[in-house]
Amino acid sequence: MSPRASARNGRSPRALARRIVGAGRRLTYGALGRTPFGSITSVVTDEPLVAITFDGCPDPQWTPRVLEVLDAHGAKGTFFAVGKFVDQHPDVMRRLHESGHALGNHTYDHPSMPLVTRAQRLRELRACEKALAPYPQPRKIFRPPYLDQDFASRLDTWRLGYDVIACSLHATDWEDRSADEMVAALSGVAPGDVIMLHDVVCDQRYRSREAMITALDTFLRQQSDLRFVSVPTLLDAGRPRREMWLKRPNVKRLASYERDF
C-alpha cells in the first residue's frame, strides 16, 4: 500500500510504525506494506505447518530443556543464535545441529542494530556467521535483536544475503508471564505462523525459562493437529509473507538489558 493510500485509510506509515499489538498477540510493528525487500512474518501455505523459533541461544541450562520438549513432540525448532554464546557452548550447538533443528544469525553481541554504525552491524553479522560456520544451514536467515530494525540495518542484512525472519505470534515470554498466560497468548496459532519464544532473555529478573518450557510443552500437546517445522521447511512449503518491518529501539529498556546480558 502506498503512503498516500495508507493516509486515506487512516493508517499513515508513521502511525503504523508505532503499532504494537499487545502481549502475546500478532505483531504488526511497522507493517508498512508487502515488499520483496521486506522481512518475513509468516508463510501462506495450504499445509498445517508452523515454525516455532527461539532467540538468544545457546544456553547450557535452558536450551537442552527446550530440545527435550521439542523432541518429545516430534517438533523441529529454529534457533537464532548469539555468536558469543555459540563460541562458549560448542557442546550445546552440536546437539542442536545434530538433532536437525535450524540455526539463524542473531548477531555476535546482541546489540540493537539501528543504534550501532554500519561498520559495527557488518562486524556483528560476520562474526556470528563465522561462529555458525561449523553448523551449515540450507538458508541464511537472521532475526534482529529485540526485533529492532530500520531501513539501513535491513539494507545491510539484505546485502549479505539474509532473509530477515520477524514473526506473526509471540507470548511476551521475556517478561513476567505465567505458563497459562503464554499458552493462551499462542492459542490463536494458524498454519503458516512464525512463533517467537526465547531460551535466553536479557532481563535478569525473568532469566528463568521454567514457565516458557511448561507453556511450550502444553501448547505443543494442545496443537497436535499442526506440525511444527523449521523456518527453512516452512518457507519451502508456501509463499513467504513479507512486510516492511520497522521497529524503533526502546533506549531506556535497552540500557537495563545491556547491564544484564
The CATH number assigned to the domain holding 213 equals 3.20.20.370
Residue-level pLDDT at 224: 96
Instruction: With respect to residue 6, please indicate whether it lies within any of the assigned structural domains.
Output: no
At 11, list the grid cell: 493508517
Instruction: With respect to residue 9, please indicate whether it lies within any of the assigned structural domains.
Output: no
Tens digit of each residue's pLDDT (9 = 90 or more) over 126-166? 999 999 999 999 999 999 999 999 999 999 999 999 999 99
Instruction: With respect to residue 36, please indicate whether it lies within any of the assigned structural domains.
Output: yes
Instruction: Domain count for the chain, please give it.
Output: 1
Provide the percentage of residues in the chain whose pLDDT is more than 90.
76
Is pLDDT at 11 greater than 50 in this prediction? no
Instruction: With respect to residue 89, please indicate whether it lies within any of the assigned structural domains.
Output: yes
Q: What is the mean pLDDT of residues 99-120?
A: 98
Domain that holds residue 148: 21-260
Contact partners, residue 190, CB within 8 Å, separation at least 6: 50
Beta pairing partners, 247: 149
Q: Return phi, psi of residue 52, to 5°.
A: -110, 125
- How far apart CA 241 and CA 95 sit, in angstroms, is 31
Instruction: With respect to residue 13, please indicate whether it lies within any of the assigned structural domains.
Output: no
Q: What is the mean pLDDT of residues 65-82?
A: 98
**20: confidence class by pLDDT, cuts 50, 70, 90:** very low
**Residue owning grid cell 498466560:** 181
